[in-house]
Amino acid sequence: MELNGAVALVTGGGSGIGRAIAEALAGEGARVTVMGRREEPLREVADGIDGKWIVGDVGNEEDAIGAVRSVVSEHGRLDILVNNAGYGLFKPLVEMSLAELEGLYRTNVFGAFLMAREAAKQFIAQGSGELINIASTSSQRGSATRTAYGSSKFALRGMSECWRDELRRHNVRVMIVNPSEVMTEFAAKAGEERARSEKKLRPEEIADAIIGALKIDHRGFVPEFSVFATNPF
C-alpha cells in the first residue's frame, strides 16, 4: 500500500514498540494518531511526529469506540489500526489470582477485540484497511509462568485468524506480528528483570518489519511473521 497520506491509529503508542511503529509510519508520510492511558508520553510522541494523541483505555468500550470515531472524524477515514496495547504478567499458576488474569485479558484480548471491531466497521464501509495485531513469540509455544501473558497472545492469534477469513472479502488485510524479546521496559513492568544487550532486538526492528509488510502491493499480504534477534547470546 501507499503509506504517504495513509491514516493510522496506534494503540499503546506512547512508548516501546508502539512508539517506534508510530514514528516509522510518520516517517513514511502517514497521518498518525497514538492512543494510550497516559497523556504526557502520548503528547511527546505526537509532537515529535506532527500527529495526534488520544488518552483512552482500549479495554473500555466507550474509549475504544470514541478513539476510532475521533480519527475518522478528523481525517474522514482510517487505513491502518495497529493493535499494540498490552502488558505482561509472569507468575506461577498457583500464585496467580483471577483478578490478575481478568485484568490482563481486559487489555490484551478484549481491548484488541474492541479496537478491531470498531476499525473493521470503517474498513468495511470504505472497502479497504490494514489490521496489524502485535502478538508475541509467546503465542507460539507455552512456557512456565506465562499462563496469563502467553494465553492472551494465543487468543489474539486465534481471533486474528478468524478476522482474516471474515474481512478478506472486504479487501482488509489482517496481519499478526510476533516479536521475540525486545529491549523495552516491558519485562521489568511484568516483574522480570532482563539484562540489556546491544545484540537483542530494539523496537525499531519490529517497526521496520511492519513497514515492509504494509508496503506489499495490496493484491497480496503477509498473514503472520515473527522477528527474532540474529544472535542474542
Active site residues: 149
Distance CA 89, CA 104 (A): 8
3-state secondary structure labels for all residues of 86-116:
CCCCCECHHHCCHHHHHHHHHHHHHHHHHHH
Distance CA 183, CA 17 (A): 9
213, 27 contact by CB (below 8 A): no
- Contacts with 85 (C-beta within 8 Å, 6 or more apart), sequence order: 11, 12, 18, 35, 36, 58, 107, 108, 111, 112, 115
